[in-house]
Structure 1
Amino acid sequence: MVGSLLVAQPAAYAEAPPAYEPTTESLNSHPVPRWFDNDKFGIFIHWGAYSVPAWGPRGSYAEWYWNYMNSPGSPTNAHHKATYGQDAGYDDFLRQWKADKFDPDDWVKLFKDAGAKYFVLTSKHHEGMALWDSKVSGRDTVDLGPGRDLAKELFAAARKGEDKLKAGFYYSLYEWYNPSYTGRQPTNPYTGAQIPYAGAPVVGDYVKDYMLPQMRELIDGYDPDIIWCDGQWEKPASYWKTAGVIADYYNKALRSGKEVAVANRCKIETGNLDSPELDFQTPEYAVKPDIDPVKWESSRGIAHSYGYNQNEPEEDHLTSDQLVDSLVDIVSKNGNLLLDIGPKADGTIPELQRQRLLDMGAWLKVNGEAIYGTTYWNRAEEKGGPDDVRYTVKDGTLYATALKWPGEQLTLGADLPVDHSTRITMLGSGAPLTWSRDEQGRVVVNTPPETGRHAYVFKIETPGVRGLLRTSSSLAKEVAPGGTVSGELTVTNPGTRQAPATALTLTAPQGWTATLGASRVRPLGPGESARVPITVTAPADVTPDPYTLGLGMRTGRMTTTTALPLRVNLPNLSLGRPATQKSTGYDAPASRAVDGNTDGNWGAGTTTHTAEPERQAWWQVDLGASAPLDGVDVWNRLDCCADRLKDFWVMASEQPFTDDDLDRARTAPGVTAVHVEAQAGSPGTVKFPAGTTGRYVRIQLASPSNPLSLAEVQVRGRQ
């Protein structure tokens, strides 16, 4: 028997780590707090002077009122002039904001009734109005407007009683029109006259004399559980110099035995929304397409705006069903949901937002055990099955949450950890349910009468099974015919108790070779992982198609087989080849689409972009030599604007494309052209007719005036 391989990964805070230094390496070694990983659901609060006008075009951010107001010709610019007159400045709202009906105890009760475990308050947005008693600046709610330390009151309410809420601060690193930051006085957008920046001091060094001291005020004066920065995109990390403050924050918490979290937007490196720095990633109005082992938190409003927008009708708001489904989906992929509310200027929470929160709380009261304290499983969902299901796990219990009522039967995967003694129940119903395997080996559960709403949790537990191991693989997702791929199989005990030794086997289709570097993993403690080398070789004559390897695991008396998908594909002939596009916008060159990175996130620098607007925009690649071509895989953007990549043509030619006009390019002699009307996916596969050859491949929009943006293009063919 080959010896087992084990790499220990101690559970967070099992023993006190050394003091943190203000370096990237040290700060990135900080573990994700256990409470943050367990709590799953928090409330974001955007409340400021922008809550006085409380207006923005539908689909925009009302908290950006001042910025939009300063854009001539914008809807907000026109709205402000018509509503308040051109002589009314934004700082008038600072003084008009009274918060006279703010009841922090009522807010906290609502958050608890919603099932939230923490909140993040905008201590200061880009407008510069601080919601605490700042000694650094008089531009705050004690010296202006409400005349109250709003942050202090809310934090005090959250920390009353036994069921305390974790309390955090959002803090904008920059301010749109602070003269100490911009180097110039703000102006009236209608007259051009200079206007004062109420309450804020003029300092010589914005970061050293203003921003960092304010961050220290929040940390030292309010002892927050979370620091959540924003505005980091404006400057490099070397400008913000946040590392020292973060190190002090971590060390202060360490000395007191407190666990704290810092969002990646506090920027010690890139500060991109999906950058794996500090404690967690912060995608905005976006959800990961699959499990991301690096902790993340998705933030969004119930409608589109974070701040209260009186211009958003009810139909712009997510329904309670959509919100519950989003929470379930996010948690299954190792994420948290930070759901935003936008209170009105008087401190009341809009009734529609309140009701949505209470509906989520009612669902969590019945089904919360499938959310709180869980972790992700081998996979997030049941793809390709008849039911829309998400999985979570807690020690020896697997939860399968159906986002829609499945009818008389719920169909789950063949790889579920079940045996003849497994007990399946539906939360809120109680009685054990009968189940069996169908001809495909899938677990089919006979459901009870429908009880509850929004989503339905099925609890799967087996007597004597105290922990369920999680597997993941770094093996490439595809292999060429006759090719070999290698990687590591990681077996993790995500539970709170030790897991027994596990025997491993690996099976592959006939003619394949698949080997594991170890056939046994020794007992794993909580949070420990074993890494085992894995190597797979495909036959030279194999047909390009999806295939499946079978990973067998026997832990105690429980045997399961997990599918490891592996696609046989022809080589990507475009990787690293010279690429061009009709124009370049926003410093996003054509070469990004041939670098092998399919992330599709603009902030991570993984997408191309032509000028905006552009007529019949195109992108093309030179493969270096003519080759038989099978097709093209096209990856769309994931962060926004995916609807632009539709109604396009994919063309191949032996000769370079020389015409910008689509009709002339696609009908030129020797050109093979395929029209795609639907929106491209991640990826979308476009097949060429049999016998197609070419050296040059172009993608071109049929739209007369849209920019073109691509995440990745992979041209498949035989070399």
Structure 2
Amino acid sequence: MKLHKVPEWFHDAKLGIFIHWGLFSVPAFAAEKLTLDESQKRGTNTHMKNNPYAEWYLNSLRIEGSPTQHFHNESYGDDFSYDRFAEIFNEEIKKWNPADMVDLIKKAGAKYVVLVTKHHDGFLLWPSKYPNPKKDNYIASRDIVGELTEVVKQQGLKMGLYYSGALDWSWNPNPIIDNESWRVNGPSEIEYTEYANNHWYELIDEYDPIILWNDIGYPPNTNVYEIFAYFYNKHPDGLINDRWIQYHKSDFDHPPVRHRDFATPEYRMMEDITDLKWESTRGIGYSFGYNKMETEKDYLRPDELIRMFIDIVSKNGNLLLNLGPTADGTIPELQKKAILGLGKWLEINGESIYGTRPWNRAEGKTLDDMDLRFTQKGETIYIHLFDKPKNKEIIIESLEVHIETKIQLLGHDKYLYWTQLGENLQVIFPESFKESPVYVFKLVPKTKV
């Protein structure tokens, strides 16, 4: 496993779509509209009581006096249990068409998908041979995992699966309210460890994912390297994320979990190029699960999403961007707007993203302080300009090119005029050009510096 390298397809792909869909999609509620870091800075107690993640609805509901508890009692009554959302959800998913969902994902320009198979509430989105022993019929009425996987692969995309290993609130009715309850909330019974292991092996065998995306951590009393080896033997070009830390000490003699193919910063990005492959994961708004309380101002605009994505790619990252469907599998219009805007930009400028690698620096500036990002592919360098030039020209700081270099603005056929001004590079825009959230210059061959 130490010799396992991140496969080239993952370096090339750049964009994946995460899907958080489950019982929490029925109430679709979270009171707060803050990023994860902003919420956590207020302290664990306040964060948990006012969690901005709609998929944490059940935990928030169990916290006395929380906004979610107030919303739930007002909307459904205090005698309406979370489990009763299963009947509503299973009725709603009859309307779902997986082909429509995958068509949208392709239009966004994504190359792989990661589907939540079981989130922290414990509800299963596939007909497992290992049903939940704590709750009867706690399972989707359709094989969502199987149906989506089939269409994703038919459309030439890669399929990954998410599983909440460390948390399962169907096994523990006590909410996470502070640091201490965080530490002990995950079920540690041997029975749960076997349950989680059986699920991972079943998901690997039945659906043949190429990414194992575990969350929070993993229960004790097992050697997760056995799961890793089983998976890699089936998929040498597969990947395993970094969230497998076993959260309780136990008497079982197993090695500490240090293996990972890539890091998964959440609602965060890197400041510079990293050697370790990473995948930034986030929603388009402040939640992964659909939160109907969010409005347009809470979502990334297409131009914001495009710039964020380019920044990630320039620093050796991928973006796993989440879609939170409504209960019936519909992607809300505000989420569509963002990803279709990204997809439209990629139709013209995708060659500066897909298959590229970081250059010797990620960021740059023009003399008039406009931001730049760099990527490279073979003998080609791409320069992404994050603003519109004021005088149809830009001067890029500290960039020297070969005398035979040709420069092109993607989306335009003609080569551009350029001049080397000492160590800076002046590039003249064409007489007419289409507006774009980010302009991309293609330089062949690569620069001197």
Q: Same fold (TM over 0.5)?
A: yes
Residue identity in the other structure for 1:288: M
**Cross-structure match for 2:109:** 115
Equivalent position SS for 2:443: strand
Does 1:435 pair with 2:418?
Answer: yes
| Residues 590-616 of structure 1, C-alpha deviations (whole Å, 9 max, x = no match) | xxxxxxxxxxxxxxxxxxxxxxxxxxx
Moved more, 314-323 or 129-138: 129-138
Instruction: Tell me: CA distance 1:170–1:373, structure 2 relative to 1, closer, same or farther (3 Å).
Output: same
Task: Give the distance between the partners of 1:441 and 1:188, measured in 2 at CA.
Answer: 59
Matches within 5 A, 1:1-20: none
Task: Give the distance between the partners of 2:329 and 2:136, measured in 1 at CA.
Answer: 15
Task: Give the distance between the partners of 1:335 and 1:356, measured in 2 at CA.
Answer: 20
Does 1:40 pair with 2:14?
Answer: yes
**Cross-structure match for 1:267:** 245
What is the TM-score when the length of structure 1 is the normalising length? 0.54
**Cross-structure match for 2:145:** 151
**Cross-structure match for 1:335:** 317
**Cross-structure match for 1:222:** 207
Residue among 149, 159, 173 paired with 2:165: 173
Task: Give 1:383 shift.
Answer: 4.6
Q: Which one has a bigger Cα radius of gyration?
A: 1
**Cross-structure match for 1:410:** 394
Task: Give the distance between the partners of 2:346 and 2:116, measured in 1 at CA.
Answer: 26
| Residues 76-111 of structure 1, C-alpha deviations (whole Å, 9 max, x = no match) | 111111111111111111222121221111111111
Instruction: Tell me: CA distance 1:406–1:307, structure 2 relative to 1, closer, same or farther (3 Å).
Output: same
Task: Give 1:339 shift.
Answer: 0.5
Residue identity in the other structure for 1:340: N
Matches within 5 A, 1:62-141: 62-98=54-90, 99-138=93-132
Residue identity in the other structure for 2:384: T
Matches within 5 A, 1:449-464: 449-462=432-445
| Residues 200-246 of structure 1, C-alpha deviations (whole Å, 9 max, x = no match) | xx9962344201000101011100011111021x76xx556322101
4+ residue segments displaced more than 4 Å = 138-146
Task: Give 1:134 shift.
Answer: 0.7
Instruction: Tell me: CA distance 1:55–1:140, structure 2 relative to 1, closer, same or farther (3 Å).
Output: farther
- For the aligned residue pairs, the C-alpha RMSD in angstroms reads 2.6
Instruction: Tell me: CA distance 1:364–1:420, structure 2 relative to 1, closer, same or farther (3 Å).
Output: same
Task: Give the distance between the partners of 1:141 and 1:166, measured in 2 at CA.
Answer: 32
Does 1:310 pair with 2:304?
Answer: no
Task: Give 1:333 shift.
Answer: 0.3
| Residues 387-406 of structure 1, C-alpha deviations (whole Å, 9 max, x = no match) | 21100000000000111112
Residue identity in the other structure for 2:194: D
Task: Give the distance between the partners of 1:105 and 1:139, measured in 2 at CA.
Answer: 33
Instruction: Tell me: CA distance 1:268–1:164, structure 2 relative to 1, closer, same or farther (3 Å).
Output: farther
Residue identity in the other structure for 1:53: P
**Cross-structure match for 2:276:** 294
Does 1:422 pair with 2:405?
Answer: yes
Instruction: Tell me: CA distance 1:30–1:72, structure 2 relative to 1, closer, same or farther (3 Å).
Output: same
Equivalent position SS for 2:146: helix
Task: Give the distance between the partners of 1:106 and 1:139, measured in 2 at CA.
Answer: 34
Residue identity in the other structure for 1:409: E
Task: Give 1:142 shift.
Answer: 11
Q: Is the 8 A contact 1:100 1:347 kept in 2?
A: no
Q: Is the 8 A contact 2:395 2:425 kept in 1?
A: yes
**Cross-structure match for 1:55:** 29
**Cross-structure match for 2:156:** 164
Instruction: Tell me: CA distance 1:140–1:97, structure 2 relative to 1, closer, same or farther (3 Å).
Output: farther
| Residues 563-606 of structure 1, C-alpha deviations (whole Å, 9 max, x = no match) | xxxxxxxxxxxxxxxxxxxxxxxxxxxxxxxxxxxxxxxxxxxx
What is the TM-score when the length of structure 2 is the normalising length? 0.85
Task: Give 1:329 shift.
Answer: 0.5
Instruction: Tell me: CA distance 1:32–1:142, structure 2 relative to 1, closer, same or farther (3 Å).
Output: farther
**Cross-structure match for 2:232:** 250
Matches within 5 A, 1:16-27: 27=1
Equivalent position SS for 1:97: helix
Equivalent position SS for 1:382: strand
| Residues 533-567 of structure 1, C-alpha deviations (whole Å, 9 max, x = no match) | xxxxxxxxxxxxxxxxxxxxxxxxx8x34xxxxxx
Task: Give 1:277 shift.
Answer: 3.9
Instruction: Tell me: CA distance 1:203–1:388, structure 2 relative to 1, closer, same or farther (3 Å).
Output: closer
| Residues 308-347 of structure 1, C-alpha deviations (whole Å, 9 max, x = no match) | 0001011000100000011110000000011101000011
Q: Is the 8 A contact 1:141 1:147 kept in 2?
A: no
Task: Give 1:138 shift.
Answer: 4.6
Task: Give 1:29 shift.
Answer: 2.8
Does 1:398 pair with 2:381?
Answer: yes
Q: Structure 2 stretches of 5 or more lacking a match?
A: 34-51, 177-186, 249-256
Instruction: Tell me: CA distance 1:337–1:353, structure 2 relative to 1, closer, same or farther (3 Å).
Output: same
- Give the structure, 1 or 2, with the largest relative contact order (CA under 8 Å, sep 6 or more): 2
| Residues 436-495 of structure 1, C-alpha deviations (whole Å, 9 max, x = no match) | 122x42011011233142111100003xxxxx6xxxxxxxxxxxxxxxxxxxxxxxxxxx
Q: Structure 1 stretches of 5 or more lacking a match?
A: 1-26, 190-201, 463-467, 469-557, 562-719
Task: Give the distance between the partners of 2:121 and 2:88, measured in 1 at CA.
Answer: 15
Instruction: Tell me: CA distance 1:159–1:142, structure 2 relative to 1, closer, same or farther (3 Å).
Output: farther
Equivalent position SS for 2:121: coil
Matches within 5 A, 1:316-355: 316-355=298-337
Q: Is the 8 A contact 1:67 1:176 kept in 2?
A: no
Does 1:387 pair with 2:370?
Answer: yes
Instruction: Tell me: CA distance 1:92–1:269, structure 2 relative to 1, closer, same or farther (3 Å).
Output: closer
Task: Give the distance between the partners of 1:92 and 1:212, measured in 2 at CA.
Answer: 27
Task: Give 1:430 shift.
Answer: 1.9
Residue identity in the other structure for 1:249: F
Residue identity in the other structure for 2:359: W
Task: Give the distance between the partners of 1:455 and 1:384, measured in 2 at CA.
Answer: 14
Q: Is the 8 A contact 1:428 1:452 kept in 2?
A: no
**Percent identical residues:** 41
Task: Give the distance between the partners of 1:174 and 1:82, measured in 2 at CA.
Answer: 31
Q: Is the 8 A contact 2:26 2:88 kept in 1?
A: yes
Instruction: Tell me: CA distance 1:139–1:130, structure 2 relative to 1, closer, same or farther (3 Å).
Output: farther
Task: Give the distance between the partners of 2:397 and 2:88, measured in 1 at CA.
Answer: 58
Residue among 429, 434, 448 paired with 1:447: 429
Aligned residues: 408
| Residues 512-551 of structure 1, C-alpha deviations (whole Å, 9 max, x = no match) | xxxxxxxxxxxxxxxxxxxxxxxxxxxxxxxxxxxxxxxx
| Residues 38-88 of structure 1, C-alpha deviations (whole Å, 9 max, x = no match) | 000010100010001100113200000000111111111111111111111
Task: Give the distance between the partners of 2:221 and 2:194, measured in 1 at CA.
Answer: 13
Equivalent position SS for 1:47: coil
Task: Give the distance between the partners of 1:330 and 1:302, measured in 2 at CA.
Answer: 15
Instruction: Tell me: CA distance 1:64–1:156, structure 2 relative to 1, closer, same or farther (3 Å).
Output: same
Task: Give the distance between the partners of 2:291 and 2:282, measured in 1 at CA.
Answer: 14
Task: Give the distance between the partners of 1:261 and 1:73, measured in 2 at CA.
Answer: 41
Higher strand share: 1
Task: Give 1:140 shift.
Answer: 12
Moved more, 72-81 or 309-318: 72-81
